[in-house]
Every structure is written in structure tokens, then in C-alpha cells.
Structure 1
Amino acid sequence: MSIIVLPQAFAYPAAAVVSTFWLTAYQMINVSIARKAAKIVYPQMYAEKAQAEASKEAFKFNCAQRAHQNTLEWLPQIIASTLIVGLKYPIPAAALCGLWTASRFLYTFGYTSGGPGKRSLLGNTAINAIVQLGFILGGSTYTVYQLLA
């Protein structure tokens, strides 16, 4: 039987992953509040184009829903990368995941406060892109290479 031994500092990447849970909870609450304000009933995923054009609340609901959906699209790669990189480089993995999470809070706040044009507060979309591409592709690939070498 094999035993998996994790470095003690692996608690940092684990904590960073937990921060993504708080992010998605925040986004789910935003979507629920916006859905209620827009009077969009389940199971309708988004307000129809005509609804969004006629109602500011419906448009904001679509923005909240899209911010949440976009985060969910990236979340598996972010969590997996954090855990993979965290095996060998726990502090950088935690820092990058935390940076991504913080930038997604800004992204969500901006997007839901008035539309797609406001989703890049303080350059967070650039931070997202750098972390997503560098961390997911570069960091994970390099770490796996190091672990196999």
C-alpha cells in the first residue's frame, strides 16, 4: 500500500482552493438576487434578448449569470493547477490561486455593477489571463515534468 505524503505547506494551496468556494458562493448569491429583481423564473438560464433590452434588471441578471458561468468554466483548471503545482511549490501555487480569486471578485463586482465593459476593474482581466495561461499551462506542465524527472 502506498502512502501519499504532502508537504506541511500544502495547507496554503488548500486554503487558496477554499477561497474559490467563497467566490462561487458570492457569485451564486449575486445571481439569485439579480434573478429575483429581474423576475426571471427557473429554469430560464438567462433573460431573453428582448427582456434584457427592455429591463435594466434583466440585463444585470444576464451579467451576473455570465460572470458566474465564466468563473465556473475556469474553476476546474484553477483548482487542479493549484493542487498540482502545490505538491512541489505550495507557496507560489497558493499565491497565484489567491490572486486569481481576488481578481475574479473584482471581475464579478465590475460585471454586475453595470455591464460587460466594467468587468476589467484595476486590470483584473489581464491578471486573470496571465494566471490562467501561465499557471494552468506553464506551472502545471513544469511541475509535472519536475515530478516525473
Structure 2
Amino acid sequence: MPTVVTVPDEYGYVLLAATSTFFVNTLHAILTVTARKAAGQKYPIAYASNEVAEKDRKAYLFNCAQRAHANFTENLTPFLGALLIGGLKYPDAAAGLGATWSLCRAAYAIGYSKKGPEGRVIGGTIASLSDLILKFMALSAGVGLALGW
């Protein structure tokens, strides 16, 4: 017998939280392009060399902006999976955690790009906690569907 998954009425909020990540990605792109230009780093160079970054604060901050963007993309897929799966059972909580994640990832991006690694701590910590809770919500939703509860 097939299993029917019903999308809750509030699932639109989950989709809005997912959509917010598009704009966080755009923020990362703007921060990285701006830092690249300020540092005089030409394409296709992904990062300034250590020798250059150690002597040039702008090159160092370009590397920080690049790393922040890379970290965002590394975390985006599992975050979206947890958000979309967890949101099937807990749409309001998932949407709230998803919005929190996006706001904190924006703070992470700005902090890391402007101040270096120390600027990422608060945004990164709260985003990571939101993500972890979403992963457990997704686990609960998956187990509940598999076991019929």
C-alpha cells in the first residue's frame, strides 16, 4: 500500500525559509566580488596565496570572504534537506529555525568577510545549533513516516 505524504498548510513558510537561502548566497557573492576587487585578485584565482595574504589585509579578507562562501555552500544542501524533511512534520518550528539559520548565515558572512575568523563566531554558532535541531526534526519526521506514527 502506498504511503501518502500530506504537506501541512503551514509548509509555505518552510518554502519561504528555503527561498531565503538564495538571497544569502547572493550576499556571499557580493561580499566575495567586492573583496576580490579590493584585493586586486584576478579571476580565476580562488584564493590569494599565503605569502600575499600575510602581507596584505585586503587579500586576507578576500580569502575570508571566499572561505565564508565555500562554507555556506558546503552546509547548504544538508540544511535544505533537513529543513524540507523536518518541515513536513514540524512546519512552524522548521520555518522559524530555517529563518534563524539564514539570518545567522548572513551575519556569519558579513562578520567573516569584514573581521576575519573572529567575526564568524556568533552567527556560526547559532546557525549550527539551528541546523542541528533541524536534523533531529528531519530524523523524527523520517522515523515517524517509516513507522507510521
* Same fold, TM-score > 0.5, yes or no: yes
- SS of 1:96's partner is helix
Q: Contact 2:97–2:131 (CA<8 Å) still a contact in 1?
A: no
Matches within 5 A, 1:37-116: 37-116=38-117
Give the superposition deviation at 1:128. Answer: 2.1
Unaligned runs of 5+ in 1: none
The alignment's C-alpha RMSD in Å is 1.8
Give the superposition deviation at 1:98. Answer: 0.6
Whole-angstrom distance in 2 between the partners of 1:23 and 1:130: 18
Matches within 5 A, 1:8-27: 8-27=9-28
- SS of 2:115's partner is coil
Q: In structure 2, give the amino acid aligned to 1:83.
A: L
The CA deviation string for residues 78-128 of structure 1, in whole angstroms up to 9 with x for no partner, is: 1111110111111111111111111111111111112111212xx333212
The CA deviation string for residues 19-74 of structure 1, in whole angstroms up to 9 with x for no partner, is: 11100100001101111111111111111101111211111100111111111110
Unaligned runs of 5+ in 2: none
Relative to structure 2, which stretch is displaced further, 9-18 or 105-114? 105-114
Q: In structure 1, give the amino acid aligned to 2:130.
A: V
Whole-angstrom distance in 2 between the partners of 1:93 and 1:11: 11
1:133 maps to 2:132: yes
- SS of 2:133's partner is helix
TM-score by length of 2: 0.90
Matches within 5 A, 1:24-39: 24-39=25-40
1:142 maps to 2:140: yes
Q: Across the two proteins, how many residue pairs are aligned to each other?
A: 146
